[in-house]
Amino acid sequence: MTQISTATKAATPAQQKSAKPQRMANPEGVSPLAFVLEEHMLRGKDIIGIEQLSATEIHLILDVAAKLKAHKFDATQTLFAKGQTLTMLFEKPSLRTRVTFEAGMTQLGGHAINIETKLGERETIADVGKNLERWVDGIMARTFEHSTIEALAANANVPVINGLSDKEHPCQALADFQTLIEHKAKSGSLKGMKLAYVGDSNNVSNSLLLTAATLGVDFTIGCPHKYEPQASIWMKALELAKVSGATISLSNDPHVAVAGADAVYTDVWTSMGQEAESKEREKIFAPYQLNAALMKSAKPDAIVMHCLPAHRGLEITDEVIDSPNSVVFDQAENRLHAQKAILALVL
Ligand code: CP
Ligand code: NVA
């Protein structure tokens, strides 16, 4: 008769999940995060786009994000949204934005409510804003049209945060610059570094371009003709670059764009809502694939960035996204910290 053992096998070190520290009060009594409660520069403000943020405001968010990450088990964090509620409105699918906003609110002592809906169909966007402001402390929205987020902000007397629109993805860019600082800053500064973006000019590239131009980081976009950034964003970036000292440039040749870059970034060729164009886009963007040959044009220690989700084999190869220089999961992790910083500062 076969003996069935009920004893559980001891886990090998590789199988063991690391024990999780509990959130604890700072043993010294004064938390290195306590200043966040007194910081009112962004309190009550909307985060609609990078376009509306000053360099000082961006630096504040990045500084708080880094401190929240460094002190992630400090119980002071649970005071930053204590008893507060965030409504999350999603017109499009999400993994990272959905999970990091909800986990972020939980970690800050608050709560998040998720609603998947097409705004403006069941009732006007203005009425949605006027209802939500009576119940919750903040709204995060992922929408097709950027004007939907602007309409929510105009009609809700609580902070509205853009979780991606057709124009901007500010939370992504802030997490990405947190990642860039972690990997590429010299004496805490990104000045003089070059970020190259190859592929479609979209919400993600717009927010990266505006952040780089605001902070004085050199930025080059490599994209096909007719897929360049829209004129208003480009003009705004050039204006910001004059003040910050950033060099902003564009090339239709991906190798020229990537030449000498410290970081190379790509995103999907077909954004959510453009699915009908995907076959045509696959042909147009094929020369802009982020592969090993294109990475050779960048600095040898250049990091690889992607906001995810990635379409492996299209805009990026497995070899590049899985290479030791890839920081894509650091970017994903930093969505949590950057958004917690935003929530802690605006709610
Ligand atoms: N990068 C990003 O916004 O991912 P999700 O679409 O999964 O939220
Ligand atoms: N540009 C992509 C980003 C996804 C996070 C999109 O809008 O679908």
The per-residue pLDDT string of the chain (347 residues; one tens digit each, 9 = 90 and over) reads 444 444 445 555 555 666 666 777 665 678 999 999 999 999 999 999 999 999 999 999 999 999 999 999 999 999 999 999 999 999 999 999 999 999 999 999 999 999 999 999 999 999 999 999 999 999 999 999 999 999 999 999 999 999 999 999 999 999 999 999 999 999 889 999 999 999 999 999 999 999 999 999 999 999 999 999 999 999 999 999 999 999 999 999 999 999 999 999 999 999 999 999 999 999 999 999 999 999 999 999 999 999 999 999 999 999 999 999 999 999 999 999 999 999 999 99
324: three-class secondary structure by DSSP? coil
Ligand 2 atom having least distance to the Cα of 94: 5
Residue 113's identity, in one-letter code, is I
Cα separation, 301 vs 240, in Å, equals 28
Where does 39-169+335-346 sit in CATH, by number?
3.40.50.1370
Q: Whose CA is nearest to atom 4 of ligand 1?
A: 96
How many helices (H) and strands (E) the chain has is answered by 13, 9
46 CB under 6 A from ligand 2?
no
Q: 172-332 belongs to which homologous superfamily?
A: Aspartate/ornithine carbamoyltransferase (3.40.50.1370)
| Cβ–Cβ under 8 Å, residues 197 and 265 | yes
Q: Whose CA is nearest to atom 1 of ligand 2?
A: 271
Tell me the whole-structure pTM to 2 decimals: 0.94
Supply 200's token pair.
């479609």
Sign of torsion over alpha carbons 43, 203, 222, 327 = positive
Q: Can the peptide bond before residue 300 be classed as cis, meaning omega within 30 degrees of 0? A: no
Q: Catalytic pick from 267, 289, 331, 339?
A: 267
Phi/psi-derived region of residue 201, left when phi > 0, alpha when psi is between -120 and 50, beta in every other case: beta
- C-alpha distances out from residue 145 to 108, 151, 272, 341, Å: 29, 10, 11, 25
CA atoms within 13 A on the CB side of 146: 14
Residue 230 is among the residues annotated as catalytic for this protein: no
Residue 294's identity, in one-letter code, is L
**Which has the closest alpha carbon to 136: 75, 89, 90, 178?**
89
Report the 10 Å Cβ neighbour count for 19. Answer: 6
Report the 10 Å Cβ neighbour count for 318. Answer: 11
Supply 324's token pair.
């030791």
Compute, in angstroms, the gap from residue 187 CA to the centroid of ligand 1: 31
Each domain of the chain, given as residue ranges in start order, spans 39-169+335-346, 172-332
**Ligand approaching nearest to the C-alpha of 175:** 1
* Shared fold status for 39-169+335-346 and 172-332: yes
307 CB under 6 A from ligand 2?
yes
Supply 151's token pair.
């309409």
Compute, in angstroms, the gap from residue 162 CA to the centroid of ligand 1: 12
